[in-house]
Amino acid sequence: MLYRERLPARQGNAELVLLHGWGASSDCWRSALPQLRKYFNVTLIDLPGHGRSQSHRVSSVDEFIADIMAHTPARAIYLGWSLGGMIAARIAAQFPERVSALITAAANASFVQREDWRDAMPVATYEDFVERFASNPKRGLRRFDALQGALTPSVPGEAELQLQLLGWLSELDNRDCIAALDVPMLALFGADDALVPRGTAQAVSRLSSSVEICEFKHSGHLPFVTEPADFWQTVLDFCQRHGAESSEITHYLNKRQVAESFSRAANSYDSVADLQRRVADQLATRLPPDSGRALDLGSGTGYSLPALNAVTQSVVAMDLAEGMLAYARSQADRQAEHWVCADAEDLPLADDSMDLVFSSLAVQWCENIAAVFAEAYRVLKPGGKFLVSTLGPETLFELREAGRAADDATHVNRFLPRADLEDGITRSGLQLVEWQEVGEVLEYDTLRELMAELKRLGAHNVNRDRGMMGKQALRRFIAAYESYRQANGLLPATYQVWYLTLTKPLA
């Protein structure tokens, strides 16, 4: 069947559909996804015979386009590379009401030369390659890699279907489509492309004065690989100029600082993590008895690894903070099959590779929560579970209110509202089985004691707009927090803890 993967970011973001070229798969876009998901909800498509659509059979390019349109958003920006770009141009011509903008990369209007279109591959060269591929697909792919200057090898697929799509390259003639196009179009080319001659850029510009052209001087057939920063910035600038309504997610947290803060706290974390251990233990009561392969997402010092190892065949421990992973590995009773330093919003794991994802008090450090849920959905096997504990926005409200009394800076980490989590769950495809809220109140003799504990946990303020208090502001801050002192003489610190049980549907 057709492989289609939708990676939501945030409600209201523009939709972006990505179509790869011949001999590749949608994985060619993976390195750019963290950046793209700041601006777009992304849909990935694998061409027939390629990637995870290897068994998807269609009789013609128009039938494939019909399949695509049945699985893509009502309106989106389409970005296609090489053959994917030619298909995207065809989509824009046939469904202008569904396409808000068109971007092609290393895509000719006609891949092969025609009597009145000489800026293309000679027919004899094309036919020689087709013959080579038909007789020996593996050797043909190696030849193709040499032609396109690929930094990574092409992806072997179903040879019969790949051969059919080679036929599409000679069949498609988009000159009339581009000339009559009624949507904004950006055509990107590599100056040293061995498959798309250098004169193609000017030839395409002559088809329509409304087509924007950009040529990358140091690239061949893969400009998004050889000059990624310039390539994607050009794409984003074009989308914004043409009203694609792509608004970057506002990042309040400094992700690098989050990682560094927790790495520094690795050695002191366990000594003050009573609440964190209690929450992890409560989440562990929801573990199924036999879970196969598990991911401990945000594993920290590895406290939950013994509980996970008791009910699973193997565990991958993953955390954003290298220091936390190093500490966990040094503990004899905290073992994992693999130790991985990575971001929960972009998991370096294969699709359908995990039976269980377990995450205790970690995802509150992720602002693109929809990406977290979408990634969990992707790596879970059908029927797999995602067990989550996280913090709600009422956490440490006393600190937040005291900070407001002091000045206008942000002195407490922000945590996402329930509506954002619910939206991310719905958009990911995961199903919510249970949502439990528990209030926890810790008590301290002094405000200094609370702040020191947060620092030892690595959970002190890591907002981008955090501020340093002056003496007067500090006095106001302390006085405001003192107003919360309880009858027992202690200062409270409230935590809003959410426990979620999610599952990936079987079908």
Relative orientation angle of helices 397-406 and 471-482, to the nearest 10 degrees: 140
Q: For residue 454, give both structure tokens.
A: 């947060």
* C-alpha to C-alpha distance for 425 and 429, rounded to whole angstroms: 7
Backbone dihedral region for residue 292 (phi beyond 0: left; psi -120 to 50: alpha; all else: beta): left
Quick one: three-class SS letters along 80-95?
Answer: EECHHHHHHHHHHHHC
Amino acid at 469: M
Quick one: three-class SS letters along 224-247?
Answer: HHHCHHHHHHHHHHHHHHCCCCCC
Which helix (H) or strand (E) segment holds residue 325: the answer is helix 322-329
Q: Say which residue the tokens 């994802």 belong to.
A: 357
Catalytic option among 46, 67, 193, 270: 193
How many CB atoms neighbour CB 185 within 10 A?
25
**Do the strands 211-216 and 293-297 form a parallel or antiparallel pair, or are they unpaired?**
unpaired
Relative orientation angle of helices 418-428 and 369-379, to the nearest 10 degrees: 30
Residue 270 known to be catalytic: no
Residue 193 known to be catalytic: yes
* C-alpha to C-alpha distance for 296 and 363, rounded to whole angstroms: 12
**Do the strands 491-503 and 76-81 form a parallel or antiparallel pair, or are they unpaired?**
unpaired
* C-alpha to C-alpha distance for 23 and 50, rounded to whole angstroms: 7
**Do the strands 314-319 and 14-19 form a parallel or antiparallel pair, or are they unpaired?**
unpaired
DSSP state of 500: E
Instruction: List Cβ neighbours of 332 (8 Å cut-off, separation of 6 or more).
Output: none
Which residues does residue 442 pair with via DSSP β-bridges, in sequence order? 493
CB 403 within 8 A of CB 476: no
* Backbone CA torsion sign across 318, 281, 497, 262: negative
Amino acid at 147: L
Beta strands in 418-473 (DSSP E): 431-444
Catalytic option among 25, 26, 53, 82: 82
Instruction: List Cβ neighbours of 233 (8 Å cut-off, separation of 6 or more).
Output: none
Q: How many CA atoms lie within 13 A of 471 on its CB side?
A: 0
Residue 411 known to be catalytic: no
Catalytic option among 50, 221, 299, 389: 221
Beta strands in 245-320 (DSSP E): 293-297, 314-319
Radius of gyration over every alpha carbon of the chain, rounded to an integer in angstroms: 26
Of 454, 456, 361, 359, nearest in space to 412 by CA: 454
Residues with active-site annotation: 82, 193, 221
